[in-house]
Each structure stands twice: as structure tokens, then as C-alpha cells.
A and B are shown apart, each in its own frame.
Chain A
Amino acid sequence: MVQRHFVPKADCEYTKADFQSDQMVKWCPGCGDHAILASLLNTFPKTGHKKENILMVSGIGCSSRIPYYVDTYGFHSIHGRACAIATGAKLANPALSVWVNMGDGDSMAIGGNHLIHAVRRNQDLNITIFNNEIYGLTKGQYSPTTKFGQITKTSPFGTIDYPFNPGELVMGAQGTFFARALDCVPNLTTDIMTRAALHDGTSVVEVLQNCMIFNDKAHAAISDRAVRDDRTIVLENGKPMIFGKERNRGLRFNGRCLEAVTIGENGITMDDIMIHDETTEDTGIHMMLARMSGDLPVALGVIRNVKKVSYSQLYEDQMDECRANGKYKCVDDLLNSGDTWEV
């Protein structure tokens, strides 16, 4: 099967400014969304996609305001349904580069069903989940990713809901691309988003985002500059899984699970450190990487990126085949098919 590219390439070079809209950005000062928007605006020129063909679809929530701040086509839809709306738009016109932006509540609570099915189908959508582990626009209720036990307005005695890990959800739904970014590391976010855009199939990028007002420092334990290098690992395909301020920490698979080790201690050498392979079809290691927390560094970068024919291509191939071989060339043929008679 020949891979088809449906989205037309731009005939000029764009800059970030080409995608900035004239609308006033109304997020709270200091909100992580500003950085994500900047990363996204930097991403578009890198994808080389024609600007007219870019469609931003969002649901409801703070992050879902993003279509107003990007000078492309945009659809700010209803709560939870962005994936479904994007699916229809992309199906109707595969030449569109379709971006879906949602928060954690939008994508995994009210829109959870649409998210897993979009991922399962592997249609060519670029999904970004802004994960701040709280409902911000409704002012501070716990979300499906809020940490267990956290006190919020609707969990005054601590949540007793076990949270979702978006990566596990995506891989459980047979996702072909999953990456994780940090709002405060915008260059990494742009790199990841660019790769997500070029991935043929559904890509999901989880951006750990800070809501200063209702869940400040939710990711501080890993994102603060003082601890970031030791508490996160940026995965790079084909490279050893190294992290730490001193770049002397690494991940090793001990036959049962992943463990963080120090190179040069207890006889550990570089040969013991795992090499990241984002392309393995089996989700086992990717699932473990996506799940890392606590003693293990939180994985950033592209965790999973496997090839699988996209729904967009399967659909268009089937359409072409039917058009070429179909019995009916126009509706009149159909109306007059089968048993008919003249009066």
C-alpha cells in the first residue's frame, strides 16, 4: 500500500506571526496555556502544511479557547465532543490538517468515549491534551487525572477516584503515537508537536500544564527547575535512556520492571541502560514508560510512534476502489437498478 499524503504543502514559508490571530488572549496571566499556544504557533511553520488547510477543533474548557488565538479555521465546539467533530471534518475533507485541543476533563471525562475511539481508528488527527489535573473554567473541581486523595472543591475530604494516566489510556486503545511535554519547556513541546503533526494517524500529545489559580504547582514536583532534570527523562528514539543533572542516571529493565540506576555505581555501565525504541508495536515497554512516577522519572518526549495505516488512508483507498469498480456511476443508475417496470 502506498502511503498517501492528503494535506497539501504550503508554497511559501510561514513564520509564527502568520498564525497569530488578532484576538486578545484571555487566559490568566502566568497560565501554562500561554506557553503551549506559543509552542503551537511555532509548530505550524515547521509542518509545512498549507495554512488554509489547518483546522483547529476544541471542546469546552480554558484550553479550548485556543482556536480564537490561532489565525486558521477553527471550531470551538461543545464539551467533550471535539474528537467527534474533528473526525467528521477530516473524513469529509482529508486534505485538512486537523488539530484537536482539549483539557483533561474535556478529553477524558465527558469526552472519554470519543477520545478512545478516535485513537482506536487511527484517523489522521493531532490531539493535544492540556493536563492540569483540575477543572479550571468551572473553578476547581477534581478531574479524571486529579491525584488520588487531593482536596478540591468537590472533594473536600480528598478524592477517592483513581486517576487516569492518559498514556495508558491511549495505548490501551491501540494508539500509534503518544508523547508527553511540559508547558514550561516550550522547545520540547514544539519538537513533539511537529513530530505529532507529521505522524500518519492519530497522535496524542499530553502537555503537563499548570493552572495557577485552581491547581498551582500540580506538576511542580517534576517541573521545577531545581528537580526537573532528576525527576524527568526526555526520551529520544534510538538513544539510551539517560537523565539527571549529571547525566549519569539511566533506566534499566531488570526482567520484571523498569528501574532507575546510576551509571558507575554497583557495576552499572552504559551497556545496562535501555535504548529507547518508540517504534516497537508491542505496547509493553511504552506502557511502562508512560506510567513512570515516584522513584522513576516522568517520561517526556515521544514515547510511542508506530506505523499503522491510517483510517484516512483506508477510507480514501476504499472510496477510490469503489468509484473505480462500482456498478452505479450516478444516482439515476441506482434508482433504475434491480426490479423495475414500465407502466
Chain B
Amino acid sequence: MSDKITQKDDLVVRFAGDSGDGMQLSGTLFSDASALTGNDIATFPDYPAEIRAPHNTIAGVSGYQVHVGNHIYSSGDKCDILVAMNPASFKSNLKWAKKGATVIVDVDTFTDEAMQKAGYTDNPFTDEFERDYAIIKAPITSFTERIGKEQGADKKVADRCRNMFALGIIFYMTHKTLDQTFAYLERKFAKKQEVVKLNKAVLTEGYEYADKLEVIHSKIVEVAHAQMPKGRYRNITGNVATAWGLLAASERSGRQLFLGSYPITPATDVMVELAKHKALGAKVFQAEDEIAGICSAIGASYAGALACTSTSGPGLSLKSEALGLAVMTELPLVVIDVQRGGPSTGLPTKTEQSDLNQALYGRNGEAPLIVVAASSSANCFYWAYNAAKLAIEHMTPVILLTDGYLGNGSQLFRIPKVADLPPITPRLAKPNDPNYRPFRRDPETFAREWALPGMEGLFHRVGGLEKCPDGPLSTDPENHALMCKNRQEKVDRVANYIPDQEVTGNPDGDLLVVGWGGTSGALTLAVEELNNEGKKVAYTHFNYICPLPKNTGDILRKYKKIVVCELNNGQFAGYLRTKFPECPMHQYNKIMGLPFEVGELKDCFTKILGE
């Protein structure tokens, strides 16, 4: 190995290939190995909706971006190293590479036919391209197939290991060892030793190929180790973190965990993860449709469970009527919406924040509920936990908004102790309480009591029809007005139990940047960089959406210039304007199915500051 190693604060690597090429796995293995060797990480899978689109087409390209380094807020704008396993992935991903990036291609795949399929009429490696990028044309397929042949493996089996060759090159270039990945392979294929052997050999071959390549020696980087608070860490995706947060809330509240869901991209992994944990008491029910998903959860909630349903945009639309039922029956319910590009089927595998209005308003009648949003893959754990706490303690449905970027992306997670999490106290009714009334409220929270079938002496009925506080049906006009106001008041009063909104960056800034939900990584970095460059920018990021923290108005009124940034056409900005019409707001919106890039945010903020 060369002795010339460049030290860097951070590095972005992007793996791109055909959707069967194992790019998600390469990316995961690289990020896991990086995390285990002390880097902070954030990842962003960018995959198509098709499971296996036609081979070698742009439609079938699957990507996975990994950002490693010291303080990592997001998966990074553009990459320093691009791996492209075929012409189509090269063509569609080059725009994500920085000028001067190292581009590694499997040169064996650049056949006339494959190039034509990708839409190339000429040689893509023009002089101009070769000036702008450091290209490494690695014979990945032929090397891999040779090793396969040596080991007596089928050509098809060998081809499936090509990603290991590429990964070997990346490990060499990032000055990392292969140990972590070896251990993974041994674990994963414990019963298929020939597969372990083949993968290890290909991985090693890639590593050694890089070692022999003179041009790579000047490209080796060592990424700074992260300075992180003491503790035990792991890598976690947002969807898994969400599932685990619910498990923790179930254990802490002593309530059976129930998830009624229907498969939908990109939320399915929440259900997939919870389905593994029957031993921890998680009851997962894969329903016949989205409606049955939420309805089974409502039934489970009535029976006393911490009941949840997970979905994405179109699924939330289907759940609207039942959400109204949960509002009306005042039962605790956690609805997780892993947002994706809409409307309708939209962009199933791409991220967006465009379900905010639906979460806030998407029901008939006066149907207030709590809306919160997670802002990083790791804090999906805490927001899922918090959503469960709010639902149980305030006897109301809660919508937790995450998104495809958070859900599929991964991050380092400092492992908490469940006992250190805030307590969750269910408002259970007392059996045989002669004063029990279905809609008797706590004078402070306005929450009703939870009386469970099976308890003695608390017979009552709930349902979608308006009731009076004592329980029976009522169509009395005054009663309806009272019940509507009480349900609203109950949600409004949640503001008394949540922390004040905080301002970061430079609180005395000339511009207040406002964000919510899954965009905090890019926004934090953009604000930090501008402040480092001498500009004055304040930043506030919302997780509590409805109700808003009590000091929200005080913060907004302090700044002459406000810009609300979100991955939709201005839904949060619109919401804030209805609450604080006195505050003029700029908007920065992106509806491309992609997360924010730091660069575009900085440009926008700089422009507003100059106006």
C-alpha cells in the first residue's frame, strides 16, 4: 500500500448498478464497516420501484450513497467516489459525482449492446470526461468470473459476487480492512461455505487489484473518526428505529404491542421488523388492505393494546375514515406514515414531505389529532416512542411522519437503556368504578379513561356516532358543539406537555431558516456552513407539528426574514401562515422525490440574505 494517504473530514461514496447487482448490500456493508471502525455515517438508498427492470436499462438502476466522516448530518450532496457497474448506472449517476471524483466502472459491461441500451451512441469516456474525473476501468466481470471458474462455481453465482470486487476496491481506497465484511459473510452464509469462500475471494481480489493499480495510490483517503458522546453505538435505519421505538414504548407502558398493516413502499420494513419480535410480545397482523390495517389496530386499541398501523401516502388516504373513528372514540393509536412522492401512486421509492396536509386535515368533520415528525433515521426511535407516549397518555390518535429518506437511510444510533426513557402512564379506568363514564375527562389533559373489555363493571359502548359525556348517543346540538370543542381542547393542551421550540445556528441571525421532519441533516449543515462563512443565520426545526410548541409565534415574530424549507409545494409554510399571519415567510420547496442538497440551500439562503 502506498504511504501517501490523504486525511479527510468526510467522504461520499455512491454505489450504482443494475437492480440485481447488489448495490444496496455493497453500500450497507461499507457503511457498517465504516461505522464499526469509528466513522459517523449516513446512508441514502436510491432504488427504482421495479424489482428487476430490464437488464442494463436506466429504469433498472439502483443506487446507494454512503457519507462517512466525523460529523455527518446527511447522506451528502454529491459523491467523491462513484462505482458504476454498467453503462446505464454510469449514465444516470454521473450527475451525482463531484467534479474530480474517482469513477470506478466495470469496463467489461461496456459492450456495444449495453451502451446502446443505456442510450449511448458514442464512447462515453470522452477526453473531456477523462479531464474532469479520475476514471478507473476495472475488469470486474472477467476477474470475478475467473475466480468463480477456479472455484467451480456457476457463472450466474459468480456474477452475483461482482459487487464484492467493487467493494474490495473501495475498502482499499478508504484504507480499511476486510475483516468486518468477512465476518458478515461468515454469519450470513454460515450454511453455504462455498458462497462464503467465493465472496471472500472476490472481495480480496478487488482489494488486491486496487493495490496493484498505480493510479489508485494517490487516491487513498482516510476519513476522520467521529467525535461522539460516549456510549454504545450501532447502525440503524429509520424504519427499524421506528419499529424498535414502538417495542420500547410497549415494554415501558406495559401495553401489548399491536401493529395492523398492509405492505406498502417505503413503509413495509416497519412491519417486517416487528414481525420478527413475537418473543418481545409484538403482535403483527398483516391485514387484507390498508383499511383493515388501521381498523384492526383500532379494535386492538379498544381491547387495550398499544395499537399502531404503518403506511405511506396512498395508504394514509385509505385510512382516513377510520382515523376519524379513532378521533371520535378517543382511543390511542399510532399511525406511522413513511412519506413518499405523491399524489396517487406517485413516486413510491422516492422521498417527499407532501403528506403534511393530509395528516393535518385529511378527515371529515372536526377531527383534530396529534401530528409529529421524526428528523433523522436514528431519532425515528424516539419519535415512535414519543408518539406512543402521547397517544396513550392523551387518549388520541397520533400521526408520526417519517419519509423514505429517513426510513431507508441509516445512521449511527446511540443505544439507550429502556429504563432511562420517559415513563408512559396509561390512563386505565378502575374496574367497578361506579363513577366511570366513557367520556369523563382528566381536568388537566382532557383525556378520557381507557376501560377495557374484560374489566368488571365498566360496560360501555364506543363508536362513530356522537356521544354525550356519559356515553349514550346524542344528537343534541349543544352536546355536539361541546364534544367537538373538548376533542380539540384535548389536542391543543398537548402543547402544555411538550418542550419549547429551540433555535440553533446563530439565534441573532438576519434570517431564520425553518424546517420540519426529515430535512434536518441538509438544513443543519447548510446553516452551519453559512455561519462559518461569516453570515448570520438562525435555524429552527420542528418535530411537533400539531400542536406546535407554545413559543413558536414568539420565535417567528423575532425575525424579519424567514424561509420555510420543505420537500413539497409549501404545506408547512401554509400551515404556519394560518397560525401566524403576521409573519411574512419565504419558501424553499423541492418536489423532485429527492432530499435537499446543502449547496442549493446555501444558494437560496444567501440570495434571501442579499435581498
Chain A residues engaging chain B, CB cutoff 8 angstroms: 23, 52-57, 60, 67-68, 71-78, 81, 83-93, 95-96, 113-114, 117, 315, 318-319, 322-323, 325-332, 334-336, 338-343
Contact = CB atoms under 8 A, between A and B. Distances in A.
Interface stretch (B66-74, B366-374, B456-464, B571-579): B456-464
A117 B295 contact: no
B77 interface: no
A92 B307 contact: yes
Contacts of A89: 299-300, 302-303, 453
B280 A328 contact: yes
B229 interface: yes
Contacts of B235: 339
9 shortest A-B CB distances, which residue pairs? A326-B279, A88-B299, A76-B463, A88-B296, A84-B295, A74-B461, A322-B278, A92-B300, A85-B299
B280 A88 contact: no
Contacts of A327: 279
Interface residues of B, number: 68
A205 to B, nearest CB: 20
B325 A330 contact: no
Contact of A88 (B278, B288, B300, B454): B300
B461 A67 contact: yes
A73 B431 CA distance: 13
Nearest to B412: A343
Contact of B472 (A23, A71, A72, A342): A23
A318 B276 CA distance: 12
A86 B295 CA distance: 9
A114 B292 contact: yes
A54 B459 CA distance: 10
Interface stretch (B138-146, B340-348, B393-401, B413-421): B413-421
A77 B461 contact: no
Contacts, number: 203
B232 A114 contact: no
Residue picked from A88, A96, A326, A340, most chain B C-beta under 10 Å: A88
B285 interface: yes
A65 B32 CA distance: 56
B233 interface: yes
A68 B473 contact: yes
Contacts of B79: none
A76 B299 contact: no
A114 B38 CA distance: 50
Contacts of A328: 277, 279-280
A87 B292 CA distance: 9
A55 B279 CA distance: 27
A43 B525 CA distance: 67
Residue picked from B36, B281, B299, B416, most chain A C-beta under 10 Å: B299
Contact of B463 (A77, A331, A332): A77
Interface stretch (B203-211, B244-252, B482-490, B531-539): B244-252
Contacts of A90: 299, 303
Contact of A331 (B229, B418, B454, B472): B418
A316 to B, nearest CB: 10
A318 B416 CA distance: 29
Contacts of A325: 279
Interface string B258-272: 101000000000000
B465 interface: yes
A332 to B, nearest CB: 5
Contact of A72 (B226, B260, B301, B459): B459
Contact of B36 (A87, A96, A341): A341
A35 B609 CA distance: 76
Given A76-B462, A315-B283, A328-B279, A335 B244 contact: yes
B321 interface: yes
A81 B307 contact: no
A78 B322 contact: yes
Interface string B175-200: 00000100000000000000000000
A44 B464 CA distance: 25
B473 A73 contact: no
Contacts of B281: 319, 323
Given A67-B461, A323-B279, A96 B285 contact: no
A91 B258 contact: yes
26 contacts: A52-B454, A57-B299, A76-B461, A76-B462, A76-B465, A77-B464, A83-B292, A84-B288, A84-B291, A84-B292, A87-B296, A88-B297, A88-B299, A88-B305, A92-B256, A93-B452, A93-B454, A113-B288, A322-B279, A326-B278, A336-B234, A336-B415, A339-B235, A340-B233, A342-B233, A343-B38
